[in-house]
Every structure is written in structure tokens, then in C-alpha cells.
A and B are shown apart, each in its own frame.
Chain A
Amino acid sequence: MKQLALEALDSAQRPGVTYADVRVIESRDRELGTKNGKPGQVSSDESVGIGIRVLADGCWGFAATDDLTHAGVESAAALAVDIARSSALAKKHDVTLAPEAKHEATWVSPCQIDPFTVSVEEQLSLLTAVDKELRRASGVTLAQTSMIFHRSRQVFVSSIGSVIDQTRTTSGAGFEAYSFKGDQIQKRSYPNSFGGQHQLKGYELIHEIDLLQHAPRVAEEAVWLHSADQCPEGRFDLILDGSQIGLQVHESIGHPIELDRVLGSEANYAGMSFLTLDKLNHLRYGSDLVNAVCDARIEHGPGMGTFAYDDEGVPAQSNDIIRNGQFVGYMTSRETASAIGATRSNGTMRATSWARLPLIRMTNVSLLPGEQTLDEVFAGVSHAIYMETNRSWSIDDKRYNFQFGCEIGWEIKDGKRIRMLKNPTYSGITTEFWNSCSAIANRDHWVLWGVPNCGKGQPEQVIGTGHGASPARFHNIKVGAAYAG
């Protein structure tokens, strides 16, 4: 792979080219599932290809191909340069890149149990047992389980002399129990919706989340929701479980801090951001309790956004985003760093595959744990609504107004659950919401959640991101508007 990458780099360095980088990626996936006791998805996928990115005449060009013959790579390199030259038709200024050192490294993500060496029989046997357990609950009308494993090895080389060989293995698994009755479809998922939990781990993740143990409770909750009261409409203190906090962070902190979005790169599709450059170091993003980081280092945890180097050869870093409620940082790239006066990219450029261009993507954007016990989060107010596990999510194209729905809610009085609530939703404005944060549970309850389906870019790239979060409480939040009127 390294030789191929270096040959492609040579081929890309044509007249007018001031920078080039090449990624050769070999990837492997396994996807398994069951539905109502029968096999569902049973598949594997292997892919290899090369992506060549060049700066020529001051503009970007990118071409990717699965044709790894000498002629195929030459053709792709030539196309990348042609494309860059056509970009110059509408050039306003030359692209400049923040300096970056040359890096030579090999990195393999921690993986205690290689999921591809665990037999498919064993994996399907576990899913089938979980599926059976879900269907033991009378009233469950649909049981689904899934596992997904992914490994990719990427060799990155660039014209500044970097040669970086990285291998990442991710695992994910989860289940869903549906219950249809009368005029309602209710659903419960574990450990989270979006196919469960996803991390940069091997098969040890599957052991840790213990699907089988949680199946009976989750299945019963799906059925019990039919007997639950509708979530009331009004303003309440709101407590969210860690997985929902993770998605709230993703949508209302992670996306707004993408500097390419702030600068307009996504204006036609994913949108822009309310975090205009004047807000850096000036905006009160949240209450004093709110501290958020963007951290791709393995020290932060085995997240979907953990790596050693990003896809333009910048080492993984940890950066403060919100410090004691104050907005202090964006996610940047070599091209955008100078827009905030930075002299170096903070290393967040990622691509979904060899066929796609690296973009600024969330790495692990995490809400740091607070100091309160879970009991203190719940008992800190006399009356609250607690919501668990995301069911719907939506936010405007500048990331101000959001609305989330969860699978299950509970009315809380004096720290105790007094009744189950169905169809809970809440909504708000990003900065008002984070400024209303009144408690965050401590590290004992902090989990690095994986969101496997973050979309951005044209052509669209769907990538996994990490979000560390623990349960948290918010004051005076609008609840239930989605079902009102």
C-alpha cells in the first residue's frame, strides 16, 4: 500500500501542483442481524481504492479510483490536476495551508478481541438469543438485533514527506423492541438507538454492553409505554440520559463548531452556524458547569472519532471548545485555521472512504463530567421530566432551534420516578438550553457514546463520531410542543 501511495504521489506532482496528498485505504466490514427470530443481514464487504488530492494553480482537485493499476493511478492523478485547474475558473484567491510538520508513523487502534476472528456462528447465536428474549415479552410485535464491525487500514502520504499508516477497528451492536397496539407504535432500544453503541474497540465491546441481560427490561418497557400517560406540555426541569446528551452535544455543539461550516463551505447543504467568528472567546455558550472538548486522542477514550492522525496528516489533539460556559474553540483544518488566527490545524479532517475528500468532521466532541452523583442530579429539584434514548432529532441550518424526541420519559418528584410518560419531546434554542444546565453527573456515569450516522458534504459522507456524556439536568425547558395542537 505504501509503495502504491508513493507512486500516486509522484504521479500527482505535475507542473503547477504545490501540494498533494494520497490516501490508499483497504477496508473490511461485517454486518449481522436478526428479525423476529430469523436471520436478517448476514454480509461482508471489502473495498480498496485510492484518493488523490492536489493543490494546483492555487485550487483544490480530487480524484479517486478503484483501478490500482499503474495506468489507473496515473489517470486519476491527471484527473485530479485537471479538476484543480478547472476550479481556477472561479478562483478568488489561492488556497493556503497552515504549516504542518512531516510525520512518519504507524498506529493500530486498541482491539482486545478481533471481531473478525470471532465466528459468525457465535455472533449470530448471541443475537438470536437476544431476539428470543425480546419476543418473550407479550406485546412485542417486532424484535430486531444487529452487530456491525469495521476495519480500515489507511496509508497517507503527502508532498511534505509524511507517511502515516493507521489501522482502526470499530464495533457496534444493539437491539430494538417494537410494540404496535391500537393507534400507537412504541419502540425501545438498547444501548441506544442508531444500532446501539459504537466504539473504537474489538469484540470486547459486545461483552461489555451485555445485550442479553438488558433485553427483558427494554422489551417490557416497549409494551408498558402503551399504558403510560402522554408526556405533558409545558416548561419543566428536564433530565436527559447520557446517550441523549451525547446527541444533543453532537447537534448543538459539535456541528456549530465546524469552522468550514462557519465560513460557508456547507451553506448549500448542511447549512452554516450561528457561531460566527466574532463569538469566539465572547459568547456565553452555557452555564458555568458546561465544559466541552474536541478530543481525538486515545487518552480521551475509544471513540468513533479517535485516531492518531487526521486525514491530512495532522496529529490527534485535544482542544477546549467550551470552558466554564465560555465559547473558546472551533474545529479546524490546515486551510481554515488562519481564519481564527491559529497557526496550526487542530486536526479534524476526516473522509468516509478512499473515494471521498476529507472534510472537517467531529472527532470526539464531549461534554466533560460534572461533580454530582446521579442521585443529586435527580433529587436536586422537586419536580422534573426525565427522558431516555433518542427517537427523533432536528435542528435548523444555523443550529439555533432544535427539537428532540425520546423513546421513554418519566415524571420525577423528589428524585423518584413516579410515572412513565410516552412520546416525550423537548425543544429550545441552543445557547438558552446550555445556559440552563443546572447539574451534570460525575465521571462514574460518563460514557463515550458513538453516533454512527453523521452526514455532511456533497457528495454526502456519513461518518461515525464520538460524544462523551453523562446524564444532566436543565432548568425551565419547553416540553411536549411536538404533540401540541
Chain B
Amino acid sequence: MPVEILSQSQCHEYFDSIQQAAKALGVSDVEALFGAHFGALTRFANNTIHQNVAEQDRWISIRVALDHRTARATTNRFDSDSIRAAVEQALALARSAAANPDLLPLTEPSVISETKRFDAPTAAATPEHRGRAVTEAIRIVESAGQTAAGIYSTGQSIEALFNSRGVAAWHAETMAQFSITAMADDSSGWAKASAVSRESFDPLALARSAAEKARLSHDPQEIAPGRYTVILEPAAVLDLVGQIFGDFSATAVADSRSFLTDRLGKKLFGDNIQILDDVAHPLQAGVPFDGEGVGRRKLTLVEAGVPRDLAYARSSAQRAGVEPTGHGFPLPNEVGEAPLNIVIAGGSTSLDEMIASTDRGVLVTRLWYIREVDPYEKIMTGMTRDGTFLIENGRVTRGLRNFRFNQGIIELLNNVEALSPSVRASGEEAFDMVVPAMKVRGFNFTEVTRF
């Protein structure tokens, strides 16, 4: 596959065609979002590779704006007839829509900071490379008498936004992920990593970690549900605390569907909670501009426990009389905007120190199937999974059967007793973030399952 799957100059050429087609239809305001993706994923289970895939796709999503009306048409065909048809379709849809007085003219060009996130070896990773890494990882788990399942994915993507006001933003990125579950007779362990470069993590180290967790959690004991001190490893923090960030949206607050409604600027969490949104953070990934072509700005979402900044798209920013922050989703949409590059500030307590300082508690590797029970108190339910341990007298003493929790995030972020240094974490319930491990008192486990 080509190293550059959709170049900047190709986007310019396609956008010229789009503009010409729009002009021929009497439309001067047109925007195009370009996307391209080549990704491959080697999946394994039962100590063998059972699914092994690759996909290549490109698309153009065209938006026209006229008379306070807008609509979008998307196609993955790049020939001139298809491009013209997509412009016609967007125009027909826009003419059918009612006028929206909040709709702004297209974005004017602005400075967009460049973020270098393309790693050639990751883009060029072959099926054989992934297959060999997976085979070695399986061997480690198998040699422990366990069964391995997981994925190793590598890929590259392009996102670009061009408009008739002169915005020409283009971003290329690579991403690699390795995730592994090691299963013993009555226990399991899990580890996962993701990075722009496949060389940033060691699949074999992850395999060893998963296998060790499976070994340590054998013969899990059932203990009564209740309030426990918990130590949430970074992936568990990511998946649980990660559920709140869609609410740091000016549109969500204006709609009164955010838990921050009537709470901005008020002390809500503990003094030790600091949260940024920062696309430029060295451990972050992602596009440095938003769905309208506005460069992303750094936000202080929470400062010393006080929610401060919200993400603003252009229209929500205009309503509030502030500058847009570069977090808007492609128009038209109902949800507005959201921060996508979360960095939760860490502390200086290592995971081992957290465990050593705990008389009785629960160490949680990973959480699963997290859903919102209450939207204003941000009560979340979900399960522990793949490595839940009892801590007694400063030591991990045994594996536990998995719990269901019903835990308010506001309450949780008031009960954080210690934070580890932050790392890039990857789970399955929220997008990847930079987060610490957390020691939390009074975590609410409400039920125990059968394993």
C-alpha cells in the first residue's frame, strides 16, 4: 500500500473540482472534509490467529451553505461525476432544510499548529511483522499454561478540511495498538497499549504482564459488595472518568443535558484534580483542527477541582461571546463539540506505593460495559474484568470475583487519595487519554458476579 494514501496536493486537486461543481450550481460556500484510512489488524484467540484483516477506504464529505441552510453529502468515489453528484446532493438537501439563524459563514483561515504524528515503520508494518509479534506473544502466554487472545493493529489515516474561504488543513497520522488477554482455568489478565509508533510499546512485555495477572488472580474469592478503597490502574481510570468529557461542551450545557449545567466555576471535585485538553501533548494523538477547520486550543477543563473551560464550536462560541476553541464536530450536527485530547494530571505516587499504603482494598485492572445510570450525578455502572485483586495490609493477596459498581464520578473525583504519574492509556470504553492510576476511597461495588 502507498505510504501516503491521500496527499495534500491530491486534496487540493479534488477540492478544485468540488469548487468548480459548486460554482456551476451557483453555490460559492462549500467545504470538503477528506478522509483516508489504511488499517490492518491481526486478531488472535485460543493461541492462534483466527481473524486477520486489512481495509483501505477514502471518502469526501461535502458541505454546502446558502441562505442559512446547510447539508452534507458523503461519497467514497473520487471520479469527477461522483464528486459532482455529491455536490448536487448536498445542495438539494440544503435547499430542503429549514433556515437555521445560528448557522455561520464558513470558517476563515487561521493558524493551525502542526503536530507530527506519522511514523513510517508503523505505516509500513506488514502482515508478517504483526504475525511474528503475535506468535511470540502467544508463546509467552502458552508457556504459562494459559490461553491468549488479543489484537495487534497498525495503520495510517489522513484527515483534511478545505473550504472556499481558503482553509486548507491536512493531517496524517499513524496508530498501532496491541491488546492481550491471558486466560487461566478460573482467572484472566489483560494489558493494552497504543501509540503513534509501534516501537513505543513492547508486545512481549504486555503479554508477560497479562499472563502474570492471570496467574495471580487464580482461584478468585468472592467478597461482599460494598464501599472499598480501590486502586484503579490507568486503563480503568480512562474508561470510567472518560465518560464525563462529552459534557464539557458548551452546546451540551446550553441544552441542559450536561452535568456541568449550573455547576461551571464551582468547586465540584477534589483539589488534586487537574484536567486539560491538549492536542499537542507528546503522548496524545489526533487531528489539530476541528470539523470546521478551526485549530484546536489547549483547554483547562478542571483546575484544582473547579470546572473552568468548555469546548466551543464556532456557533456555540458566538452565542456565548467567546472565541471558538477548535473542538466542533462537522456540521450539521446536534451535539456541537467535545474535548478529545484529555490529559489528567498525575501525581508522584507509584502503583506499588498505593498498594503498600492500603490496609484493605481492591486493585482494578480494567472496567467493562460502563453505562450512564444518572446523567446529572454522573452515576456510572459497569463491571470489573480481567484482573481484580484483594489488597490486605499493603500487599496484593489474591484474586477476587468481579464486581458490578454504581459509582458517581463527581463523588469519585472528590475521593482521590493518590495519583500516579500520567501515562498514555488505552481501554475499550472511552477514547485513549493521558491519565494516572488513582487510589480512591469509598468506591461503590453493588453486586458480585459468578466469576
Q: B-contacting residues of A (Cβ < 8 Å)?
A: 33, 35-36, 38-49, 59-67, 75-76, 79-80, 82-87, 89-93, 119-121, 124, 128, 141-142, 144, 178, 180, 183-185, 187, 263-269, 271, 274, 355-357, 391-398, 400-401, 403, 405, 423, 425, 427, 429, 457-459, 481-485
- What are 26 A-to-B residue pairs whose CB atoms are below 8 Å? A33-B334, A35-B334, A40-B334, A44-B73, A47-B74, A62-B52, A63-B53, A67-B56, A83-B52, A86-B49, A120-B93, A128-B98, A180-B261, A180-B376, A183-B377, A265-B45, A271-B368, A356-B53, A356-B55, A394-B381, A394-B383, A396-B369, A400-B450, A401-B383, A482-B381, A482-B446
Q: Closest approach, in angstroms, between the C-beta of A157 and any C-beta of chain B? A: 19
A274 to B402, CA, bound (A): 14
A121 to B98, CA, bound (A): 9
**Does B130 reach chain A (CB closer than 8 Å)?**
yes
**Are A141 and B102 in contact, with the CB atoms below 8 A?**
no
* Stretch from B35-43, B273-281, B287-295, B342-350 at the A interface: B35-43
**Are B381 and A267 in contact, with the CB atoms below 8 A?**
no
**Are A141 and B45 in contact, with the CB atoms below 8 A?**
no
**Are B451 and A89 in contact, with the CB atoms below 8 A?**
no
Q: Closest approach, in angstroms, between the C-beta of A32 and any C-beta of chain B? A: 9
Neighbouring B residues of A41 by C-beta, 8 Å: 332-334
Neighbouring A residues of B97 by C-beta, 8 Å: 39, 42, 120, 124
A62 to B40, CA, bound (A): 10
**Are B100 and A39 in contact, with the CB atoms below 8 A?**
yes
**Are B56 and A66 in contact, with the CB atoms below 8 A?**
yes
> Quick one: CB contact mask for B326-353 with A, threshold 8 Å, 1 for yes?
0000001110000000000000000000
Q: Closest approach, in angstroms, between the C-beta of A74 and any C-beta of chain B? A: 13
Q: Closest approach, in angstroms, between the C-beta of B447 and any C-beta of chain A? A: 6
Given contacts A44-B73, A120-B93, A264-B45, contact A39 B98 (CB under 8 A): yes
**Are B383 and A142 in contact, with the CB atoms below 8 A?**
no
Which secondary structure dominates chain B's binding surface?
A: strand
**Are A43 and B446 in contact, with the CB atoms below 8 A?**
no
**Does B84 reach chain A (CB closer than 8 Å)?**
no
A166 to B41, CA, bound (A): 28
Q: Closest approach, in angstroms, between the C-beta of B318 and any C-beta of chain A? A: 15
Neighbouring A residues of B52 by C-beta, 8 Å: 59-62, 83-84, 86-87
Q: Closest approach, in angstroms, between the C-beta of A269 and any C-beta of chain B? A: 6
**Does B416 reach chain A (CB closer than 8 Å)?**
no
> Quick one: CB contact mask for B363-398 with A, threshold 8 Å, 1 for yes?
000001111111111010111010000000000000
**Are A92 and B48 in contact, with the CB atoms below 8 A?**
yes
A59, A400, A483: the one contacting B379 at CB < 8 Å is A483
Neighbouring A residues of B59 by C-beta, 8 Å: 47
What are the 4 tightest A-B residue pairs by CB atom distance, in nearest-first order?
A180-B256, A86-B127, A86-B131, A120-B96
Neighbouring B residues of A396 by C-beta, 8 Å: 368-369, 383, 385, 402, 404, 449, 451
Q: Closest approach, in angstroms, between the C-beta of B66 and any C-beta of chain A? A: 13
**Are A142 and B450 in contact, with the CB atoms below 8 A?**
no
**Are B332 and A481 in contact, with the CB atoms below 8 A?**
no
Residue of A nearest to B379 (CB): A482
A120 to B90, CA, bound (A): 12
A124 to B95, CA, bound (A): 12
Number of A-B contacts (CB under 8 A): 288
Select the residue from A64, A264, A393, A397 with max chain B CB neighbours within 10 A.
A397
Residue of B nearest to A186 (CB): B375
* Stretch from B9-17, B23-31, B179-187, B430-438 at the A interface: B179-187
**Are B96 and A90 in contact, with the CB atoms below 8 A?**
no
Neighbouring A residues of B54 by C-beta, 8 Å: 62-64, 79-80, 83
Neighbouring B residues of A124 by C-beta, 8 Å: 96-98
A121 to B72, CA, bound (A): 15
Select the residue from A141, A263, A403 with max chain B CB neighbours within 10 A.
A403
Neighbouring A residues of B134 by C-beta, 8 Å: 89-90
Q: Closest approach, in angstroms, between the C-beta of A38 and any C-beta of chain B? A: 5
A400 to B376, CA, bound (A): 28
Q: Closest approach, in angstroms, between the C-beta of B80 and any C-beta of chain A? A: 15
Neighbouring B residues of A39 by C-beta, 8 Å: 69, 97-98, 100, 332
**Are B93 and A44 in contact, with the CB atoms below 8 A?**
yes
Neighbouring B residues of A89 by C-beta, 8 Å: 49, 128, 131-132, 134-135
**Does B75 reach chain A (CB closer than 8 Å)?**
yes
* Stretch from B108-116, B148-156, B159-167, B216-224 at the A interface: B148-156
**Are B100 and A38 in contact, with the CB atoms below 8 A?**
yes
A403 to B284, CA, bound (A): 34
B44, B102, B259: the one contacting A90 at CB < 8 Å is B44
Q: Closest approach, in angstroms, between the C-beta of A117 and any C-beta of chain B? A: 13
Residue of A nearest to B376 (CB): A185
Q: Closest approach, in angstroms, between the C-beta of A66 and any C-beta of chain B? A: 5
**Are A42 and B369 in contact, with the CB atoms below 8 A?**
no
**Are B404 and A392 in contact, with the CB atoms below 8 A?**
no
Q: Closest approach, in angstroms, between the C-beta of A71 and any C-beta of chain B? A: 12
Neighbouring A residues of B376 by C-beta, 8 Å: 180, 183-185
**Does B267 reach chain A (CB closer than 8 Å)?**
no
Q: Closest approach, in angstroms, between the C-beta of B156 and any C-beta of chain A? A: 14
Given contacts A42-B332, A90-B138, contact A393 B371 (CB under 8 A): yes
A187 to B47, CA, bound (A): 46
**Are B256 and A142 in contact, with the CB atoms below 8 A?**
yes
Select the residue from A185, A357, A396 with max chain B CB neighbours within 10 A.
A396
Besides A44-B93, A458-B43, 11 new A-B residue pairs in contact (Cβ under 8 A), listed by A number: A39-B97, A60-B51, A64-B57, A85-B127, A93-B48, A121-B96, A185-B259, A264-B45, A393-B371, A397-B369, A459-B55
**Are B333 and A481 in contact, with the CB atoms below 8 A?**
no
A46, A128, A267, A269: the one contacting B77 at CB < 8 Å is A46
**Does B94 reach chain A (CB closer than 8 Å)?**
yes
Given contacts A45-B74, A265-B51, contact A482 B406 (CB under 8 A): yes
B73, B370, B375: the one contacting A43 at CB < 8 Å is B73
